[in-house]
Amino acid sequence: MRTHHAISISPSEIGERVVVAGWVQRRRDHGGIAFLDIRDASGIIQVVADPATHPEVGDLRMEFCVSVTGVVRRRPEGTENPEMATGMVEIGADAISVLSPAETLPFMIDDRTDTDERVRLRFRYLDLRRPRMAANLRARSRATAVIRSTLDQQGFLEVETPTLINSTPEGARDLLVPSRLRPGEFYALPQSPQLFKQLLMISGVERYFQIARCYRDEDFRADRQLEFTQLDLEGSFWGRDEVLDAIESVLVAVVAALRGIDVPRPFLRLTWAEAMDRYGSDKPDTRFGMEIRDLSALFADTGFGVFKGALDSGGTIRGINIGAQDWPRSRADAIIERARELGAKGLVWMVVEEDGSLRSSIAKFLSPDEMSGIKQTLEANSGDVLLLAADKWRTCVGVLGGLRIELGKPVGHDDLAFLWVVDFPLFEEAEDGILTFSHHPFTSPLSLDEMRDHPQEALSKAYDVVVNGIELGSGSVRIHDPAVQLQVFEILGIDNETAERRFGWFLEALRYGTPPHAGFAFGIDRLVMVLQGEASIREVIPFPKTQTGVDPMTGAPTWVDETQLAELGVTLSAEARARQAEPESPTVDSDD
């Protein structure tokens, strides 16, 4: 049948009789001569046909699936197309057969139009024919291939863990699957293979990885879907640095394969405290400066009440220089409003005038020393706009960090700024004062004494990898001592009895010679998204769902028969039945 892929037709095939097959990308019919661009998975080749001898050319339409037999020839002088990989040659058609016709398309198969995503998803099989989407699919496949080969070379074992597991109420909401054999009981789909990979360490696997589908039933974002794919990895007799090294080797290999760039190693490492202090974020985007600076010392004896009050109550004063900007009142107001949304009580702005003076509503409260200190600390030049916040440290850096991201000028997506954030807090304080884990409850504390004496301030052996301000993944050194695990549970408010009931099977396993171990997981969707320069994870997922969790093509999720529910021991609530009684809202206009 087919003898050549489109891309393989080159001047060295001239004179050869070939058969190509693919889709009609374009038909350009000049009456006495007609051109067809035939696209297959490899690329595009031009076919030339004489409508007088091949009248079937007139019937061809875009996206017809065809095969063409013909002889490769050099294009006539002056008609070569340097834009095309195969632009030196063409196929003179002897026979064209329609393998399968296509209806009129709902949208054009090219990268120029930006069709509504709902329509794209309803016809995803057509959307995936677009060069950009096809390239994303290939990039993703390359990425996983490179991950596998890189880890294989390092002696990792790829192990599959179950996707029907038990629900643990911690963390994200679980996606549940009712059990037919045990009505009333439910499986959960894994949020990550966390405990299974730790069990594999106990099993003596030592180096494990898996390209694992994970599920979290939380609201969608541009970079979050219900189901997503992670590289999950774990190593025994490992500490943090071995994990970081392995993950870096994988990331560097994937970037090299997809971008042809050598990312320098080791990646920058920031402690969590440093990242928050300088960038106001635990996932800083270091592609631009605009760092947060501490101005507290300048205002030790300030006459400005707001600053004085903040310092007296244990707070801090921080500032950023957002550079030279147009600064009309409306913009200042908008940014102050934004700061309030981010949690600030207020925000002070200052503009550096030509003569070096500061224009600001609080200028009259500031001494010359304070003004020059501000300018010096923020490295301010004429025209620069400075933003100052006075509050608790966490609020200050959070607000300025949020503004920094929104006001900073991110460079093109060609830049990749990978970095590690290490030494995360072990716990977070919930609003009611109860401590909850900040990574997960199996994360090793940095210091046991610290955890016991000051759990609120205790640090953990958790770490994140960040690229361009996006959290790619996280990991930690795990707890391998069951006594420590119980201590952590206790601080989290899980008493021994509860821990035994929920995690007894795991605590038991820890008692059989558990090696120290550490691991990591990063989102493959997000990585490929960044490397492909896409703004949404959906562009690198073949069949994603909309923000409301719907697949416009298949209509999932759908109602199921009463008999199916009965088998599972599941009864719909009155509310659900009421929804069911409503007329179906069509996802997309249908033809019938």
Partner RNA sequence: GGGGGCGUAGAACAGCCUGGAGUGUUCGUCGGCCUGUCAAGCCGAAGGUCGCGGGUUCAAAUCCCGUCGCUCCCGCCA
| CA atoms of 371 and 368, how far apart (whole Å) | 5
Q: Is 575 helix (H, G, I), strand (E, B) or coil?
A: helix
Smallest separation (angstroms) from RNA to the CB of 22:
15
The residue within the footprint of RNA, chosen from 115, 154, 166, 271 (CB under 7 A), is 115
**Residue 10 makes contact with RNA by CB under 7 A:** no
- Please identify, among the stretches 80-88, 264-272, 511-519, 565-573, the one whose residues bind RNA according to the rule CB under 7 A: 80-88
| CA atoms of 56 and 71, how far apart (whole Å) | 18
- What sign has the CA pseudo-torsion 68, 73, 74, 76? negative
| CA atoms of 35 and 389, how far apart (whole Å) | 65
The residue within the footprint of RNA, chosen from 192, 360, 444, 532 (CB under 7 A), is 192
231 neighbors 147 (Cβ within 8 angstroms): yes
Is the bond preceding residue 557 a cis peptide, omega within 30 degrees? yes
Q: Using the minimum distance from each CB to RNA, give the nearer residue, 40 or 384.
A: 40
**Residue 48 makes contact with RNA by CB under 7 A:** yes
| Alpha helices in 11-130, H assignment, sequence order | 117-122, 124-127
Smallest separation (angstroms) from RNA to the CB of 178:
22
Binding residue count for RNA, defined by CB under 7 A: 67
**Residue 80 makes contact with RNA by CB under 7 A:** yes
**Residue 333 makes contact with RNA by CB under 7 A:** no
Smallest separation (angstroms) from RNA to the CB of 74:
9
Smallest separation (angstroms) from RNA to the CB of 83:
6
The residue within the footprint of RNA, chosen from 160, 218, 369, 453 (CB under 7 A), is 218
Smallest separation (angstroms) from RNA to the CB of 142:
24
Break the chain down into helix, strand, coil percent, rounded to 5: 30, 25, 45
The residue within the footprint of RNA, chosen from 249, 438, 447, 487 (CB under 7 A), is 438
Say if strands 65-74 and 17-29 run parallel, antiparallel, or are unpaired: antiparallel
**Residue 564 makes contact with RNA by CB under 7 A:** no
Smallest separation (angstroms) from RNA to the CB of 439:
4
186-212 in b/e form (b: 16+ CB < 10 A) is bbbbbbbbbbbbbbbbbeebbbbbbbb
The residue within the footprint of RNA, chosen from 129, 404, 439, 526 (CB under 7 A), is 439
Could you tell me the two tokens for 473?
A: 């993944």
- Please identify, among the stretches 306-314, 356-364, 435-443, 499-507, the one whose residues bind RNA according to the rule CB under 7 A: 435-443
**Residue 456 makes contact with RNA by CB under 7 A:** no
**Residue 76 makes contact with RNA by CB under 7 A:** yes
| CA atoms of 420 and 246, how far apart (whole Å) | 13
With tokens 């608790």, the residue in question is 392
Q: Is 488 helix (H, G, I), strand (E, B) or coil?
A: helix
- Please identify, among the stretches 151-159, 188-196, 242-250, 377-385, the one whose residues bind RNA according to the rule CB under 7 A: 188-196
The residue within the footprint of RNA, chosen from 2, 17, 118, 138 (CB under 7 A), is 118
| CA atoms of 392 and 396, how far apart (whole Å) | 6
Q: Using the minimum distance from each CB to RNA, give the nearer residue, 33 or 411.
A: 33
86 neighbors 45 (Cβ within 8 angstroms): yes
**Residue 37 makes contact with RNA by CB under 7 A:** yes
Could you tell me the two tokens for 571?
A: 């009864």
| CA atoms of 462 and 430, how far apart (whole Å) | 19
235 forms bridges with which residues in the sheet?
207, 518
Smallest separation (angstroms) from RNA to the CB of 294:
24
**Residue 338 makes contact with RNA by CB under 7 A:** no
The residue within the footprint of RNA, chosen from 440, 461, 478, 480 (CB under 7 A), is 440
Site for RNA, residues 82 to 111, rule: CB under 7 A: 83-84, 87, 90, 104-108
| CA atoms of 482 and 511, how far apart (whole Å) | 7
Site for RNA, residues 566 to 585, rule: CB under 7 A: 585
Smallest separation (angstroms) from RNA to the CB of 155:
24
* Residue 26: closest CA among 10, 7, 47: 47
Give the number of C-alpha atoms closer than 13 A to the C-alpha of residue 115, restricted to the C-beta side. Answer: 19
- What sign has the CA pseudo-torsion 195, 198, 203, 207? positive
Smallest separation (angstroms) from RNA to the CB of 291:
20
**Residue 61 makes contact with RNA by CB under 7 A:** yes
**Residue 46 makes contact with RNA by CB under 7 A:** yes
The residue within the footprint of RNA, chosen from 437, 489, 520, 522 (CB under 7 A), is 437
The residue within the footprint of RNA, chosen from 70, 280, 441, 455 (CB under 7 A), is 441
| CA atoms of 589 and 42, how far apart (whole Å) | 33
- Residue 94's alpha-carbon distances to 48, 51, 54, 56, 97, in angstroms, are 9, 11, 8, 12, 10
> Which phi and psi (to 5°) does residue 114 adopt?
-120, 85
**Residue 163 makes contact with RNA by CB under 7 A:** no
The residue within the footprint of RNA, chosen from 28, 340, 345, 394 (CB under 7 A), is 28
Smallest separation (angstroms) from RNA to the CB of 221:
4
**Residue 221 makes contact with RNA by CB under 7 A:** yes
Could you tell me the two tokens for 446?
A: 């940095």
Contact residues toward RNA (CB under 7 A) are 26, 28-33, 35, 37, 46, 48, 50, 61-62, 75-76, 78-81, 83-84, 87, 90, 104-108, 112-119, 170-173, 191-192, 194, 216, 218-224, 436-441, 536, 538, 546-548, 550, 552, 585, 587
